[in-house]
Chain A
Amino acid sequence: MYPASFEYVRATSAQEAVDLLAQNADAKLLAGGHSLIPMMKLRLAQPAKLIDIGRIAEIRGICEKEGTLRIGSLTTHDTIANSELVRQKCSILAGAANKIGDPQVRNKGTIGGNIAHADPASDLPAVLVALGATVHMLGPNGPRSVAAGEFFTGLLETALEAGEILTEIEVPACCEDGSGCTYLKVEHPASGYAVCGAAAVVKMEDGSCVSASLCFNGITPTVFNAWPNGGPLVGGSADDATIAAAMAELSIDEPMGDIHASGEYRVALARAYGKRALIAARERSGG
């Protein structure tokens, strides 16, 4: 199964990739290739040109800067899952990266490709929105940043404009500020993708909930953010009964349904896994 013919060019820097995109309207960026190549084999994508960004060192790797982790867009799922820094300071992200696909997929797939592709069943989008991550991009008009919550705009759609490249994902070191975090996933048995993924980040202080975020993958065409404005746990003890009551009331409009799981079933999964993820996150939090 071959992709249709295309021209191939390699970029050596993020700026060069942006310049090449500007010169080639129907070109696509190639990172790990683990979403794009399958799509090209099925002729669901047929770009005239591929700009291979796979070797740009400046957008690969993980470092810590002013209390946040900066993850280059080309960093692989495997590198994130096994990074001591990410495991210690943002364990939810390392855990979610480790749940992606299988080892071969994690060895090649990148965080930038994952969120640019924005598959509703991907694992990273809900985690990044729940964390309050920031997405950094470079385009013809220079660098630009958006909150992860505004980055995912629809089914396979993002705030990334034509001609822009993702450079860095910035995530808070949530495990260091008294927050607890957990990502749970019900995976499709064949593909490994999420039928339901629940990401919870809960911060407690002296037995009282200061903030709680809860986001889901796999239920709606793009990340479902249950509590964009705080939610019912804030100010209370976030005990099991409160969490259970909040999840019983969770309503999700127009869930996706297919032969694997109906919309109704996905909502039931969201309630059950949302509850477990919140309880686990609260238990992991400092207070």
Chain B
Amino acid sequence: MATRIDLEVNGERHERDVEPRQLLVHFLREELGLTGTNVGCETSLCGACTVLMDGQAVKSCTQLAVQADGTSITTIEGLQTNGEYHPLQQAFWDCHGLQCGYCTPGMILAAADLLERNASPTEREVRDALKGNLCRCTGYHNIVKSVLAAAAGGES
């Protein structure tokens, strides 16, 4: 039996009927067409599906869409403003914080939660904050550099 949900995604309000078993990540990708949120492990470990729910990083493969009712969600598509990259997106570009890019949306949103709480983190704090996000390509160094650069206002 479908359940009605009413939530905000990237500033836009959506009212939909969803099956209770639908995962938030599938709702975002399949119902709203926001495919920037990736599905990696499907087992809560890789962080590729990370989105912000009311400002906090969550793994959207481990939430039901019905749990997101009434919340405000930000996906990678919602980070830029008026065509301008978010400082984290720009820093990942500038510091080569990605290779294949599969982990990148999740990395950026997990980092956004960190910078919201702690505007000038140490390298250790950045690594701790990204503990729930796996990258198969970069070896993490440039990802950490990107987050530190974004915190420092774009200076790497």
Contacts and interface: CB of A to CB of B under 8 A. Distances in A.
Real binding pair: yes
Contacts, number: 78
A78 B20 contact: no
A107 B19 contact: no
Nearest to A7: B1
Interface string B92-112: 000000000000000000100
Nearest to A34: B62
B129 A103 contact: yes
Interface size class of B (residues with CB under 8 A): 20 to 34
A3 B132 contact: no
A191 B45 contact: yes
Contact of B132 (A33, A52, A54, A102): A102
B43 A38 contact: yes
Interface of B: 1, 3, 19-23, 26, 42-45, 47, 50, 53, 56-59, 61-64, 66-67, 110, 113-114, 128-129, 131-133
Given A1-B61, A4-B21, A107-B56, 5 more contacts: A3-B21, A54-B67, A103-B132, A104-B47, A108-B59
25 contacts: A1-B43, A2-B26, A5-B19, A5-B20, A6-B20, A6-B21, A8-B3, A30-B67, A37-B62, A37-B63, A37-B64, A38-B43, A41-B42, A41-B43, A78-B56, A102-B132, A102-B133, A103-B110, A103-B131, A103-B132, A104-B57, A104-B110, A105-B132, A108-B58, A191-B45
